[in-house]
A and B are shown apart, each in its own frame.
Chain A
Amino acid sequence: MHLLFGYSYKNIIARKLTSLFSMLGVALVVFVFAAVLMLSHGLEQTLVDTGSDDNVIVIRRASQTEVQSILPRDIANIVKADPAIAHDTAGAPIFTNEILVLINQPKRNSNEPSNVPVRGVTPMSLKVRPTVNIVEGRMWHEGTSEIIAGAKVAKTFQGCGLGETVRFGMRDWTVVGIFEAEGSGFESELWGDVNQLMDAFGRPVFSSLTMQLKAPGDFEAMKARLEQDPRLTVEVHREKEYYAEQARITTTFINILGTVISIVFSLGAIVGAMITMYTTVAHRTREIGTLRALGFTRSTVLLTFLAESVLMSFTGGVIGIFLASFLRFFEVSTTNWDTFAELAFSFEVSPSIIIGSLIFAVVMGIAGGFLPAVQASRLRIVDALRAKG
């Protein structure tokens, strides 16, 4: 069975304006659909990249996130002695005890205040997280009120740029360095000396303990050992899974909202495609009669018109994805609903988003083209040949 693709293609080209509007309708829907998926993928990617496969994070049992977690020093010391933890060349465990608190800071462009996470870290934190790189200035000196700022925080929030001062915990803190972390969530944080920050906030306990494993395979044994230790009340997570779980609530919300909006929009595009195809069938009734008289079967006529609709919506889909791909150059921020901290991230495209969006476009084409194509295939030849035009 020959599908007359050339004929379909030439008909689309011949009806430039109607085809274009029909394609733009689909392009708009695919743009929204792809944008939502890119948004949630970007958020997920940012948080998932925050974690490392080799690292383990320990928080207080049932606290869910670092912000709610409290771990006294004695617990930190017991965990630090676990045999699964890797050691550096100097023989020190690659282990860091940190606190995470939220401060309220106005944004540069809107003056609107938002939550900024402040992480009290140790010099070992940089070894635990090798993706973190100081790109301007230097690391803070121990025992001082110096901090370093993630690149996204430095750009977005007042007082967080290099050399600027930000006030919290009854002290002024000077930003002495800017760091990047391959676009991950750490770039939305301020980092200072953990001991200074514990003093300033009057908190004698840590929020979390992060450490590098000698081998990623040691995780299960370590988790069992620590979670069953009667002296400890802790949860042990792979760092990557911990951050991925944080992304889940927000990405699920974005995905559901986006899908609902896309489906509602798509109904408009489907109706648009349907009107275009019904008009096409009406204008080409005699052509359909001729094709059938020449010996083309009903199913060939049906598939030919369906192919025309799908070809248009597929092209619309490609246009939509092309336009959506420019969103990669925009950065957005949202509240991380697990920590209530402001998190900056970008739209991220992925092969599965492209394929998913194109499938969505094709489905719209089939939905819009099916009834008109059926109508075309069911025309009686003698009636169709008598039609005008």
Chain B
Amino acid sequence: MAETLVKLEDVSKSYWRDSIEIPVLHHINLEILTGEFVALMGPSGSGKTTLLNLIAGIDRPSQGRVIFEHEDLSTLSEGDLARWRSRHIGFVFQFYNLMPVLTAFENVELPLLLTKLSRAERHKQVETALAIVGLADRMKHYPNQLSGGQEQRVAIARAIVTDPDLILADEPTGDLDKQSAEEIMDLLAQLNKDFGKTITMVTHDPRAAEHARVIHRLDKGELETA
């Protein structure tokens, strides 16, 4: 029986625009087990990304608790939360979010700058991560010299280079053509299957969601499990 990695207990989230409260998530209860590949699906505005941000510790719930490996994230300060993210979370964004002035190698190395690894150790890990995503020969390329699919692979390499407990992907295929999207999904599935990585992915693409082992649907801020 796999252990619970993330647990959301009665989580609600509202935003305030001027003095009007805009509720986004209502009383969400969710568990993500270690080694799971979870897809969060739902139409635009259903609160998928907000839910992902809460799990990632880059946003805080208005109510309820997000518990990661028995640690309540709401008890962490801003700085502690940043350090926590660097140790436990790998991000994959829809628009890759690579630093345009850095090479593929340097982009992947970024999260390792927050560790105490030596330069040589960092380089070894970056090379391994880029080899896993199949871009060992593109290390010195800048993002604008890569295709969309290749950029997303670099972003995935960046997400796995620190060997985090949880990879969070926000519409990872949203900006890609069909073939590249398929390749990226195969890669994520491989990371989950072969390397045992826990992945939580937000998507509205049913084809992408097919790769996940668990699918949760969000609608108007409420969760239903498929």
Cβ A382 vs Cβ B82 within 8 A = no
Cβ A295 vs Cβ B87 within 8 A = yes
Q: What residues of B have a CB within 8 angstroms of the CB of A295 in the complex?
A: 82-87, 89, 111, 114
**Among A293, A298, A382, residue most surrounded by chain B Cβ atoms (within 10 Å):** A293
Instruction: Tell yes or no: B72 within 8 A of A by CB.
Output: no
Q: For residue A6, which residue of chain B has the nearest CB?
A: B106
A381-B158 Cα distance, complex, nearest whole Å: 18
Contact of A2 among B87, B95, B113 (CB under 8 A): B113
Cβ A385 vs Cβ B114 within 8 A = no
Q: What residues of B have a CB within 8 angstroms of the CB of A299 in the complex?
A: 79
Instruction: Tell yes or no: A265 within 8 A of B by CB.
Output: no
Q: What residues of A have a CB within 8 angstroms of the CB of B95 in the complex?
A: 286
Instruction: Tell yes or no: B101 within 8 A of A by CB.
Output: yes
A381-B59 Cα distance, complex, nearest whole Å: 8
The A/B interface has a contact count, at CB < 8 Å, of: 67
- Shortest distance in angstroms between B86's beta carbon and chain A's nearest beta carbon? 3
Instruction: Tell yes or no: A7 within 8 A of B by CB.
Output: yes
Instruction: Tell yes or no: B37 within 8 A of A by CB.
Output: no
Contact of A296 among B84, B114, B158 (CB under 8 A): B114
Q: B residues 60-80 with Cβ under 8 Å of A?
A: 78-79
A4-B158 Cα distance, complex, nearest whole Å: 16
Q: What residues of A have a CB within 8 angstroms of the CB of B100 in the complex?
A: 14
Q: A residues 373-387 with Cβ under 8 Å of B?
A: 381-382, 385
The dominant DSSP class at the B interface is helix
Contact of A290 among B59, B89, B93, B113 (CB under 8 A): B93
Q: What residues of A have a CB within 8 angstroms of the CB of B86 in the complex?
A: 294-296
A289-B82 Cα distance, complex, nearest whole Å: 12
Instruction: Tell yes or no: A231 within 8 A of B by CB.
Output: no
A10-B107 Cα distance, complex, nearest whole Å: 12
Q: What residues of A have a CB within 8 angstroms of the CB of B101 in the complex?
A: 7, 10-11, 13-14
Cβ B102 vs Cβ A292 within 8 A = no
Q: B residues 94-144 with Cβ under 8 Å of A?
A: 95, 97, 99-102, 106, 110-111, 113-114
- Shortest distance in angstroms between A13's beta carbon and chain B's nearest beta carbon? 8
Contact of A293 among B56, B79, B83, B113 (CB under 8 A): B56
Contact of B59 among A6, A14, A382 (CB under 8 A): A382
Q: What residues of B have a CB within 8 angstroms of the CB of A291 in the complex?
A: 110
Cβ A2 vs Cβ B97 within 8 A = no
Instruction: Tell yes or no: B46 within 8 A of A by CB.
Output: no
Contact of B82 among A6, A7, A11, A292 (CB under 8 A): A292
Cβ B91 vs Cβ A293 within 8 A = yes
Q: For residue B80, which residue of chain A has the nearest CB?
A: A297
Q: What residues of A have a CB within 8 angstroms of the CB of B91 in the complex?
A: 290, 293-294
Cβ A385 vs Cβ B97 within 8 A = yes
Cβ A293 vs Cβ B102 within 8 A = no
Instruction: Tell yes or no: A235 within 8 A of B by CB.
Output: no
A287-B79 Cα distance, complex, nearest whole Å: 19
Instruction: Tell yes or no: B29 within 8 A of A by CB.
Output: no
**Among A292, A294, A295, residue most surrounded by chain B Cβ atoms (within 10 Å):** A295
Cβ A4 vs Cβ B82 within 8 A = no
Q: What residues of B have a CB within 8 angstroms of the CB of A2 in the complex?
A: 113-114
- Shortest distance in angstroms between B17's beta carbon and chain A's nearest beta carbon? 13
Q: For residue B84, which residue of chain A has the nearest CB?
A: A295
Cβ A290 vs Cβ B97 within 8 A = yes
A294-B58 Cα distance, complex, nearest whole Å: 10
Instruction: Tell yes or no: B53 within 8 A of A by CB.
Output: yes
**Among B82, B85, B89, B114, residue most surrounded by chain A Cβ atoms (within 10 Å):** B82
- Shortest distance in angstroms between B30's beta carbon and chain A's nearest beta carbon? 19
Cβ A382 vs Cβ B58 within 8 A = yes
A295-B78 Cα distance, complex, nearest whole Å: 10
Q: Mark A1-43, 1 if CB is under 8 A from B, else 0.
A: 0101011001101100000000000000000000000000000
Contact of A4 among B85, B97, B113 (CB under 8 A): B113
A95-B135 Cα distance, complex, nearest whole Å: 86
Contact of A382 among B53, B97, B114, B158 (CB under 8 A): B53
5 chain-A/chain-B pairs, Cβ below 8 angstroms: A293-B91, A294-B86, A294-B91, A295-B83, A295-B87
Nearest 10 pairs of A and B residues by beta carbon: A295-B86, A10-B101, A2-B113, A290-B97, A381-B58, A295-B85, A297-B82, A14-B101, A294-B111, A382-B59
Extra inter-chain contacts (16) besides given A299-B79, A381-B58, CB under 8 Å: A2-B114, A7-B102, A7-B106, A287-B99, A289-B97, A290-B99, A291-B110, A293-B91, A294-B85, A294-B86, A294-B110, A294-B111, A295-B85, A297-B79, A381-B53, A385-B58
